[in-house]
Amino acid sequence: MLSFFQPEGGPEGRSRPKPMRAPRVLAINPYIYDFAAYNFWSNPLGLLYVSSILRQNGLPVEVIDCMRVREDKRKLDGRGPFIKEKVPKPEILGVVPKQYRRYGMSPGEFVRILETRTAPDLVLITSIMTYWYQGAVEISELVRQACPQAKIVIGGIYPTLCHEQATLNFKAADLIIPSNAIGTFYKFVEDELNYTLSFKPMLDDLDILPYPAHDLLDTLPFVPLLTSLGCVFRCTYCATSFMYPSMTRRSPGSVLGEIVHWHLQGVRRFVIYDDSFLYSSEDFAKPLLRKIAGLPYAVDIYNPNAVNAAFIDQEMAELFARSGFREVRIGLESVDPAVQSATGGKVTEAVFERAIRALKGAGYSREQLKVYILAGLPRQPWQDVKRAIDYLRSLDVTPYLAEYTPIPHTPMYEQFKDIAKFPVAEDAIYQNNALFPYAWEGFTEDDLNRLKRYAKEKRSQVSGERKNN
């Protein structure tokens, strides 16, 4: 094996050898396998943050984003379908009567692109949704074959929530690291590549993190903004509190600075995934939105993660409109008080209706108010979802089903993992909500499909009525 490092002065262990050059880094967002997938304003944000930190330490970084979108089908708001190809299902999913696909570039295209890049010393591969690990494993093996000298590091949500499984599956990796162990990663880089990192922020040092390396992507139709880590709420279906036990926030000025930075690069669309964006809004959300509203240009803002209706008063609703929220996505989850309480107790019908009145008072139309309903919860009757759809239609807003995903290290997962129709604890591939793992006689897959069509009909009625008015 060739050595890129030149030892200098003294016996081994006295000082770290000085590299002849900075190690080269290749960051990879792998293709995925699933029954359905869509680019819902998604970027590999963690991978791009780590890439930016390494770049600030003087390491040259390149990115291969396998998750390519069909640009001819991209919507005006920035979303778009991934390129895709039908593929055989894994044997363990053979009983599932759905078409399986690979989303993103093919393995052959990836290898061809990899061969055009300068041989990397360090390869970073993210593995996001737990049930998407298959693509990341394949990518790691292709990299190992093409770049036998490289150190391969796997990070992301999958190795954080399913670390033991990830250790077994990623045989080509040199390090498999959960999201809360960035210090271990820094030590690995220094020890294995003989390179001193002078800038080693913790990932919750949000105001000192460099902006993520979005500029290394081929296209930049939108920029997701990390405004916080962690969440003050403890929803029983969500693993945020496991991954980030305490909540930390950026300052409003820091977020505004990033918006200005990317706007100067030609970006107009921004995406907020913050789990607690409106919490303590007088200290954070309201000051931030006032600053954005005061910019000498308009931006478009989207929030794929639902905001909490309990914090939407009239001032907040008007700030949404003034700052550029082109729509507002809100979580209702259920109209059943028992389900509301069991999942986290964040909102009641009275609180929700107050928020809707405020948003409509700020000028939002029914098509701009999009509300998530949880479907497929353990032991949930299908009638609960239908009642929620009808309730939202009565309030003149648009309903969307959010299908329940069993996520390790959440209270709901731990309570019900043994009654799922698939062994969700044995293999993360079974945690895919497309499998409807908690179907039962009171809520079958046929019921779910009927509810999907029913919700779509209600959305179509909204659209049609709006056109006729």
HSE toward the beta carbon, residue 292, CA cutoff 13 A: 29
Structure tokens of 418? Answer: 């043994």
Residue spans of the chain under pLDDT 70:
1-20, 462-469
Provide CATH code, domain 19-193: 3.40.50.2300
Give how far Cα 256 sits from Cα of 221, 223, 456, Å.
Answer: 18, 13, 36
Give pLDDT, residue 462.
Answer: 57
For 326-423, where are the alpha helices, taking DSSP H only? Answer: 337-343, 349-361, 382-394, 411-416
Which residue from 243, 240, 222, 223 is spatially nearest to 277, judged by alpha carbons?
Answer: 240
Q: Is-contact 271 325, C-beta < 8 A?
A: no
HSE toward the beta carbon, residue 327, CA cutoff 13 A: 17
Model confidence pTM above 0.95:
no
What's the fold here for domain 222-468? pyruvate-formate lyase- activating enzyme (3.80.30)
Question: What is the distance in angstroms between the CA of the first residue and the CA of the last residue of the chain?
Answer: 72
Q: Where in the chain is the domain with CATH 3.40.50.2300?
A: 19-193
Burial 391-423 (b: 16+ CB within 10 A, else e): bbbebebbbbbbbbbbbbebbbbeebbeebebe
Q: Where in the chain is the domain with CATH 3.80.30.20?
A: 222-468
HSE toward the beta carbon, residue 353, CA cutoff 13 A: 8
Give pLDDT, residue 21.
Answer: 82
* Angle subtended by helix axes 45-56 and 182-193, to nearest 10: 50
SS3 call for 37? coil
Give pLDDT, residue 20.
Answer: 58
Structure tokens of 432? Answer: 């895919």
